[in-house]
Amino acid sequence: MKAYFINRYQKAPATLTEVAEPMVGDDDVLVQVAAAGLNHLDLRIKSGELKLLVPYQFPLILGHDVAGTVVAVGSNVRDFQVGDEVFARPRDGRIGAFAEKIAICQDDVAKKPANVSMTDAAGLPLVALTAWQALVEIAKIQAGQKVLIHAGAGGVGSVAIALAKHLGAIVATTTSTANVDFVKNLGADVVIDYKKQHFADVLQDYDVVLNSLDEKTLLDSLQVLKQGGCLISISGPPTPEYAKQAGLNKLLQGVMWLLSYKVRRACRQKQVDYQFLFMKASGGQLAKIAQLVEKGHVTPQTQEVYAFDEIAAAFAKLQTGRTRGKIVVAMRN
């Protein structure tokens, strides 16, 4: 089968070539891939930026978002059968959505929302799970709370705005001039055009901030949070608590302690809770997200769809940073 893979960490484009089909374990479903979503996480893994956090073995097929049809199931699988249309974010260590087929643990898979296409479904899992774990699991958003979501036009931001609004929050977001109307249509109550205003000069007394940008933005976000607020970052720095949960060794726990010291100290001084989030695969959460999609509370935001053999061009587009929602590759035009 065709797959997009690397033999070592590299910044150069990966290789699209023939590889052996995956083995199907007792707890796995084998999915014929219809479409796969692109994420900056793929670029970070390919370049080796995250090799301390998530070590991988080579050759490595990239791809964290997938939608397709079940073509085989393992002996222990009961909730899925051949012919089911599904979507998933395969767990760390078992990614590989940029291929014609992928074997995924049944616990990471959910039925595809019935009202969206395969290409739209393929762009949802990673960003939707990230938004869910940040806003529902960590922040436990309540109706009436004020939430700032940075980079609202991006993959995570566009889903997070919709989810926060569904939970009853008052939502502010940052974006560029070109995307102001886009994030307003997603439901944002307050839109900060970062080319014209600094968010910390406008916002105050917020309960939650979801950050996906740099450390300066993370620290500036403390200015808008109320005492007892929650600052969540998906871009780092990782905390020693995360290192322990991820099972990293003592040395790496120490590295995480140093990397996050400045942010953790600033949060303690402001009496704000800081959480680093590296999202986890969850078919159960995806099933709940699928229900929200089917009810119209969350809508996939697919910017462009490329053919699978154009995947290098799709990644070049992603790297420009000028994307809205998600970029997806489809196995067939």
pTM over 0.85: yes
Q: What SS3 state is found at 239?
A: coil
Q: What SS3 state is found at 262?
A: helix
Cβ pair 176, 195 in contact under 8 A? yes
Segments of the chain scoring below 50 in pLDDT: 333
Domains of the chain listed by start with CATH number: 2-124+300-330 (3.90.180.10), 127-276 (3.40.50.720)
Q: What SS3 state is found at 308?
A: helix
pLDDT at 333: 45
**Count of other CB atoms within 10 angstroms of residue 58:** 9
Digit-coded pLDDT (tens) for 155-193? 999 999 999 999 999 999 999 999 999 999 999 999 999
Q: Taking the C-alpha atoms of 269, 271, 275 and 276 in order, what is their torsion angle to the nearest 10 degrees? A: -20
